[in-house]
Chain A
Amino acid sequence: MKQVTVPFLVMLAKVLSGATVRWVDCEPDTCQRVYFANHTSHLDALVLWASLPKPIRALTRPVAAADYWQGGPVRRYMAKSFNALLIDRTKIKVHNSPIDMMIRSIGDTESLIVFPEGGRNHQPEMRPFKSGLFYLAKKRPDLELVPVYIDNLNRVMPKGQFLPVPLLSCISIGAPIWLESGEKKGSFLNRARQAVLDMKDGSDAES
């Protein structure tokens, strides 16, 4: 069953989003990475995951909100198909932080897709990043942190709509960053956010 539905989902995501993928200063690689992106649509996780090359896709898990992806059998099935790591935002405890869950689940092979803005953003400006990315980088300094800018996908499927309008979108993947030794939380998060914004400006300049 999964052999049929997963390629179908991938194809559907690609057709609906019309996504072009640009690898800017970054090559597709199966090494352990954390792709962090701006978040404007429910489709973000699915489309970004689908636009990775197949061998990388098999090793990459999008981190998504449990309250959305467990709402209804179709979403639950989809989340299972693309191997999502569901985080329950209401049950975050100190002894069971999502960061520990993420680190446990990826082991030494898998990569993650995260959206450090916290929730979906409906303003044109990107929101400040939540601190999760910083703690992730601190606990696992070996992970490559890859900035991704997702453009136009919020117009394909904005909040509160169930029917996507297949426009053209663009996914820009930039050069990896790491946590510098002794770098403070605030400045690291700003730097990470700027890395995503740089990819946005890059795609504007070329069009």
Chain B
Amino acid sequence: MLLLAISYQNVVPATPNSDRLFDFWTSLLILAMLVVLAVLLLAGQILKRQPESVFDPAIVRTFNKRVSTWLTICVLLVVSLLFNRTVTVVLFGLISLWALREFITMTPTRRGDHGTLAWLIFGFTPLQYVMVAMNLYDFYTIVIPVYASLFIPARIAFTGDHKRFLERSAKIQFGLLICVYALSHTPALLYLELETYDSVTQTKVPWTGKTAGLLFFFIVIVQVSDMLHFVWDRLAGKHVIASAINTTKTWEGVIGSACCTALVGILLQFVTPFTWYGAGFMASIISVMASSGSMTMSAIKRDRGVRDYGTLVQGHAGVLDRIDSVCFAAPIFFHATRFFLNAQ
């Protein structure tokens, strides 16, 4: 209600250079999302009470855990956006740190890597998010892939420990790339300045919507894609992609969720600067990337012999389990959007 009230003020006086992050349509999407998640949460609680013969309790537990984590993330995101963009960037920075922590805990490093890891956590991660908050596009897109990826092996070499050198460098680089670099493109969506093609005047005009809408479009599509993937795997899954990595992910799931997510993308077109077919296209890209992300993370977990990051150390939520699909989809969605619609 608060959101609608805030956005209502926004719609009626329509101050053109208003700094508000929500407009009416974005608020509608957020409210719908929160309502759906709350309903799912309720449904999960009801399912939990059913006898074991009706539903597999393991699946119900996974479902409940997923829904409650997503609800937490979404509520935090909405609250942070009520303040301003910087708070949202900080929120993502903290999520990154937590994910990186889980990733490094899982992958064995040697004593010689300690200094490098300290650089990652106290140096590159904060730097990346500061650059995102300052909208320094030219820097935040290259600092980690260029500078950090060269710095890491050099720093390890300087410590003089050459055992499994390439393996250790690669692990640390990969962790930084996925947990920090890739994820930081999600709040970076908020800073995009986009333009759309006006078919009446046949010219390009600045997009009047809010980038918070774009961010939520992305988050919702990733969640929907994950969910549809699960449903397709269960209902129509025949051809398992790689049973050595994940026994439940099937080709039917990937293709089915990409197509269905495209439909959802078209439905949600109203918060984006895309045309209807553009929104559908973007949604299917997000879906394919999300599937690739969870497959990749499954491969890493399988290699390390852990089932999910949550059980790595007892009692931790397992942030990395939830955001693996976001991490893979974020940079692609960001750059595709920017490529097609960036204001010159």
Chain A contacts to B: CB under 8 angstroms: 18, 20, 22, 122, 152, 155, 158-159, 161, 163, 165-170, 203, 206-207
Contacts and interface: CB of A to CB of B under 8 A. Distances in A.
Contact of B101 (A166, A170, A203): A166
B95 to A, nearest CB: 14
Interface of B: 97, 101-102, 104-105, 109, 111, 114-115, 117-118, 121-122, 306, 311-316
Nearest to B115: A161
Nearest to A157: B114
Contacts of B115: 161
Contacts of A166: 97, 101, 121
Contact of A161 (B105, B114, B306): B114
Contacts of B111: 122, 158-159
Contacts of B313: 18, 20, 152, 168-170, 207
A149 B57 CA distance: 32
Given A18-B101, A152-B105, A207-B306, A165 B121 contact: yes
Given A18-B101, A167-B101, A167-B105, A207 B118 contact: no
Contact of B316 (A22, A168, A206): A168
B118 A163 contact: yes
A203 B314 CA distance: 9
A159 B313 CA distance: 23
The 10 closest A-B pairs by CB, nearest first: A168-B313, A20-B315, A168-B105, A165-B117, A167-B105, A163-B118, A20-B314, A170-B313, A158-B111, A20-B313
Contacts of B315: 20
- For B111, B115, B122, the residue with the greatest tally of chain A CB atoms inside 10 Å of its CB is B111
Contacts of A163: 118, 122
Interface of A is mostly: loop
B111 to A, nearest CB: 5
A20 B97 CA distance: 18
Nearest to B305: A207
Contact of A206 (B104, B109, B114, B311): B311
A18 B121 CA distance: 14
A22 B315 CA distance: 9
B121 A168 contact: no
B104 A207 contact: no
A171 to B, nearest CB: 10
Contacts of B109: 155
B312 A207 contact: yes
A135 B344 CA distance: 78
Contact of A207 (B102, B122, B311): B311
B126 to A, nearest CB: 13
B148 to A, nearest CB: 16
Nearest to A162: B118
A155 B101 CA distance: 12
Contacts of B118: 161, 163, 165
Contacts of A170: 313-314
B284 to A, nearest CB: 36
Contacts of A159: 111
A166 B118 CA distance: 9
Contacts of B117: 165
26 contacts: A18-B101, A18-B316, A20-B315, A22-B314, A122-B111, A152-B313, A155-B105, A155-B109, A155-B114, A158-B111, A158-B114, A159-B111, A161-B114, A161-B115, A163-B122, A165-B104, A165-B114, A166-B101, A166-B121, A167-B104, A168-B105, A168-B316, A203-B314, A206-B311, A206-B314, A207-B312
B8 to A, nearest CB: 40
- For B122, B314, B315, B316, the residue with the greatest tally of chain A CB atoms inside 10 Å of its CB is B314
A168 B97 CA distance: 12
A22 to B, nearest CB: 6
Contacts of B312: 168, 207
A155 B313 CA distance: 14
B114 A168 contact: no
B316 to A, nearest CB: 6
A138 B9 CA distance: 77
B184 to A, nearest CB: 19
Contacts of B114: 155, 158, 161, 165
Given A122-B111, A168-B102, 8 more contacts: A152-B313, A155-B109, A165-B117, A165-B118, A166-B101, A167-B105, A168-B101, A207-B311
Contacts of A158: 111, 114
